[in-house]
Amino acid sequence: RPLTVAVLGATGAVGNELLQLLEERSFPIDQLKLLASERSAGKIKLWNGRNITIHPASPEQFQGVDLVFASAGGSISKKWRNSINAAGAVLIDNSSAFRMDPEVPLVVPEVNPEKALTHQGVIANPNCTTILLTVVLRPLSLLAPIKRVVVSTYQSASGAGAEAMKELKNLTQDVLDGKTSKSKVLPYSLAFNLFLHNSPLAENDYCEEEMKMINETRKIMESPELSLTATCVRVPVLRAHSEAVNIEFVEPIEVRLARKALNDAPGIKIIEDFHANRFPMPVDVAGQDSVAVGRIRQDVSHANCLELWLCGDQIRKGAALNAIQIAELLLPNS
């Protein structure tokens, strides 16, 4: 039966992409509700040939809803979770609010699809960099157990929302125009610049984004012992993240076998032309579903390690697409 679906945060970067993907993938929707803050109340959005009015979130808005996609931030998800579940709806939550809750499955459909069906009303969509990483680690972990992962990220403005993307464009234009203007959304200007991820620092001097990668990867891969260290950096790219990844296995793995495993795995596209020195770039994956991987090579410093490079669309696979793929796992005939 077609569903009644609500998108909470329907005006944001991820919300907009969700709407586009729901249409593109012909998700079985009877009624679609668009929810955002008071600021957007009464605005109208065109979706799949229908004009839909945006409403502020309220308990009444969740009555009769089967499925809620939330991408309005952790505090909003926490605020509405009970109302959503009390109305009998399942929450697929893009925020970090419930990700580490042991009762809440944290799902990447290419990695642990079976977990989605164990939900008790909430399924968490992982952090964007973690989704891209685990899609790639999973097929490699089937070749031999992974001992340690060292990752450096190159993260786009979209991770900080639609306003941050707009700010990157505007501040870049300002630099070209010879103006020096201050950033408002991000702490520093990303125009012709980069900086370490601005999420709050933990006691161990890792930022929250880095700790999310560490903890969420362990949960998704079901390897609590996995060693992982990350350095997260924001770069002046609009909507795709890149990651340099070093993977240590318990034994040496032939590059050829790793490449084949990645090539055969769902959700991955290999972009790798060593003669042309051509490997994945953010522009290759912007607006695309697959995670692009390339430059898979033997680490010269360690026999048991491989190096690789990956890029993935942060708004799609890093957020909206993964959330919809989770919802598709819940559909009766999936």
The verdict on whether residue 12 carries a ligand-binding annotation is yes
State in angstroms the smallest separation of the CB of 14 from ligand A2P: 6
| Contact string 136-175 vs ligand A2P (x = CB under 6 A) | -------------------------xxx------------
* Binding residue (CB under 6 A) for ligand A2P from 3, 19, 22, 40: 40
The verdict on whether residue 218 carries a ligand-binding annotation is no
Three-state secondary structure string covering the chain: CCEEEEEECCCCHHHHHHHHHHHHCCCCEEEEEEEECHHHCCCEEEECCEEEEEEECCHHHHCCCCEEEECCCHHHHHHHHHHHHHCCCEEEECCCCCCCCCCCCECCCCCCHHHHHHCCCEEECCCHHHHHHHHHHHHHHCCCCEEEEEEEEEECHHHHCHHHHHHHHHHHHHHHCCCCCCCCCCCCCCCCCCEECCCCECCCCCEHHHHHHHHHHHHHCCCCCCEEEEEEEECCCCCEEEEEEEEEECCCCCHHHHHHHHHHCCCEEECCECCCCECCCHHHHCCCCCEEEEEEEECCCCCCEEEEEEEEECCHHHHHHHHHHHHHHHCCCC
Instruction: Find the catalytic residue in 55, 119, 241, 305.
Output: 241
| Contact string 265-304 vs ligand A2P (x = CB under 6 A) | ----------------------------------------
Measured distance CA(44)–CA(89) in Å, rounded: 24
Catalytic residue flag (residue 207): no
The verdict on whether residue 155 carries a ligand-binding annotation is yes
Only segment of 10-18, 98-106, 213-221, 322-330 that touches ligand A2P (CB under 6 A): 10-18
Site for ligand A2P contains 318 (CB under 6 A): no
Site for ligand A2P contains 185 (CB under 6 A): no
Site for ligand A2P contains 61 (CB under 6 A): no
Site for ligand A2P contains 132 (CB under 6 A): no
State in angstroms the smallest separation of the CB of 196 from ligand A2P: 21
Only segment of 6-14, 23-31, 98-106, 123-131 that touches ligand A2P (CB under 6 A): 6-14
Which two tokens mark 12? 């944001």
Catalytic residue flag (residue 311): no
Measured distance CA(48)–CA(22) in Å, rounded: 9
Q: Of 68-87, which residues contact ligand A2P (CB under 6 A)?
A: 72, 76
The verdict on whether residue 40 carries a ligand-binding annotation is yes
Instruction: Find the catalytic residue in 55, 119, 128, 197.
Output: 128
* Binding residue (CB under 6 A) for ligand A2P from 32, 52, 57, 323: 57
The verdict on whether residue 61 carries a ligand-binding annotation is no
Q: Which is nearer to ligand A2P, 9 or 109 (CB)?
A: 9
Q: Characterise 296 by phi-psi region: left (phi > 0), alpha (psi -120 to 50), beta (else).
A: beta
Annotated binding site: 11-14, 39-40, 99, 155, 158-159, 208, 234, 314
The residues binding ligand A2P (CB under 6 A) are 9-15, 36-37, 39-40, 57, 72, 76, 161-163
